[in-house]
Chain A
């Protein structure tokens, strides 16, 4: 972080125990390109952090490091005190159970119906009875405003519904952290805003930590407590939401000038 606004975001840093996710000088090279270039980022417990940035600046790659789908080439990624470079096996599985991840198109298993998709982590990793699982699935679908669609197949759902079912699946294990990878991508403005409202609602009701990767300012307005702008693999702006929206940082203004909102 080199800009004044980024430094301002670092002011009043939370104590170490308040930080749930920490990136320290993380470098990731993919296809010969430095996608993450010395990334420093902290996510505090209970906050909703929105990560913005142009395409190809490493937003999704950042999320994938949090769940161990990718490993940093150098630097460290810590999640609740666990170094993601050294964690493995059972410990990693247990950490992942505390994290929900919403993929861009929901990543639903195509041959399972909605109910089975949402129930999947419970059936695979818990000893809950069928009735308990059914009850919890129904509750989570209710939470994402899709009650009673358990028997539908993923192919029968719209893009927005697929994302919400993916969110219900991410929520079914009561995670402490939810990572959203472009939750509004490819959706019409109305559905996009509905998703934003659900994310904020969950944040307030469930007291979870959220990291949202998005291109849309509407998402920032509805969801964020804090926003960062990622450019060329590092954070260039890190501000609370209101200051982020008012900021006159040149890179931020240039990026927001292209915002489809």
Chain B
């Protein structure tokens, strides 16, 4: 038990250190732009279809589950408000984070793990190539950008999925649904042009992107033991990313409700 706790603390410390090292190297981003764009493409474009499907059905399920209860009180007209707020604040960032952890995070851990066991990381070290600069920083940047972008997509298709179900199952007109969805996300007095519900959700997903990248890179770099070790690192990367996404999600939500109370 104590050993497991110590190992977890050690890994968390390494992940934070790696993230800090990547942030320190951000001024070199222009030099690594091709690698970062490659990663952005594989992490982002490669999972768009999954985000579309899962986001659409998540919105549909949310609408059906909530709409049935609202209909009992004759309040089904409010479904657009509920779905849009739920998707923007919670469901969109969370779904995107989980999908990215399971797809891009696992791929990233496997890639770096394979590089470790095939001596490519050792080769970089001997060649005096800074592996954080060369490998980690572009991946952290790519996931920190990809996650919010995919969240916007997930939010949008989720709300559209809700529109499909609300018109076909709940008898709510599509126009009314979208009017209430847009109204709920409006913040006319905000100094930012984006509604607060959207940008706090995007901030969450930005943090999730950082978590996925730093956990996956840490697990990959610390791989040992050949193919079995790569498998273990991949599993650990997905597991730890999901746990950290859920834990950080709570604290971020608590922060937003405590310090931005007009969201409540």
Contact = CB atoms under 8 A, between A and B. Distances in A.
A120 interface: yes
Instruction: Tell me if A's interface is mostly helix, strand, loop or mixed.
Output: mixed
Contact of A97 (B38, B122, B128, B134): B128
Interface stretch (A4-12, A74-82, A104-112, A137-145): A104-112
A67 B115 CA distance: 19
A96 B127 contact: yes
A124 to B, nearest CB: 5
B123 A101 contact: yes
B173 interface: no
Contact of A124 (B119, B120, B122, B129): B129
A176 to B, nearest CB: 14
A167 B125 CA distance: 16
Contact of A69 (B38, B122, B128, B130): B122
Nearest to A105: B118
Interface string A94-126: 001101010111011111000000001100110
Nearest to B114: A110
A155 interface: no
Nearest to B121: A107
Given A105-B118, A105-B119, A107-B118, A120 B126 contact: no
Contacts of A120: 127, 129
A104 B119 CA distance: 9
Contacts of B120: 107-110
Contacts, number: 49
Contacts of B127: 96, 120-121, 124-125, 169
A245 B38 CA distance: 53
Interface in A55-99: 64, 67, 69, 93, 96-97, 99
A69 B126 contact: yes
A120 B126 CA distance: 12
B38 to A, nearest CB: 8
Interface in B71-124: 115, 118-120, 122-124
Contacts of A166: 123
Interface residues of B, number: 15
Contacts of B128: 93, 96-97, 121, 124-125
A103 B134 CA distance: 20
A109 B120 CA distance: 6
Contacts of B125: 69, 96
A108 B124 CA distance: 9
A109 B128 CA distance: 14
Interface in B117-174: 118-120, 122-130, 134
Nearest to A122: B127
Nearest to A99: B126
A154 to B, nearest CB: 10
A22 to B, nearest CB: 20
From A96, A108, A109, A110, name the one whose CB has the most chain B CB atoms within 10 angstroms: A109
Contacts of B115: 109-110
A184 to B, nearest CB: 17
B123 A103 contact: yes
A145 B134 CA distance: 29
A194 B38 CA distance: 37
A127 B55 CA distance: 48
Contacts of B119: 103-105, 107
Interface string B209-253: 000000000000000000000000000000000000000000000
B126 A96 contact: yes
Interface in A155-203: 166, 169
A107 B125 CA distance: 12
B232 to A, nearest CB: 17
A101 B125 CA distance: 11
A121 B126 CA distance: 9
A17 to B, nearest CB: 25
Nearest to A69: B122
Given A69-B122, A105-B119, 15 more contacts: A64-B122, A67-B126, A69-B126, A96-B126, A99-B126, A101-B126, A103-B122, A104-B119, A107-B120, A107-B122, A109-B115, A109-B120, A110-B115, A110-B120, A121-B127
Interface of A: 64, 67, 69, 93, 96-97, 99, 101, 103-105, 107-111, 120-121, 124-125, 166, 169
Which are the 8 A-B pairs with shortest beta-carbon distances? A107-B123, A107-B119, A93-B128, A121-B127, A103-B119, A124-B129, A101-B126, A107-B120
10 contacts: A69-B122, A93-B128, A101-B126, A109-B120, A121-B128, A121-B129, A124-B128, A124-B134, A125-B128, A166-B123
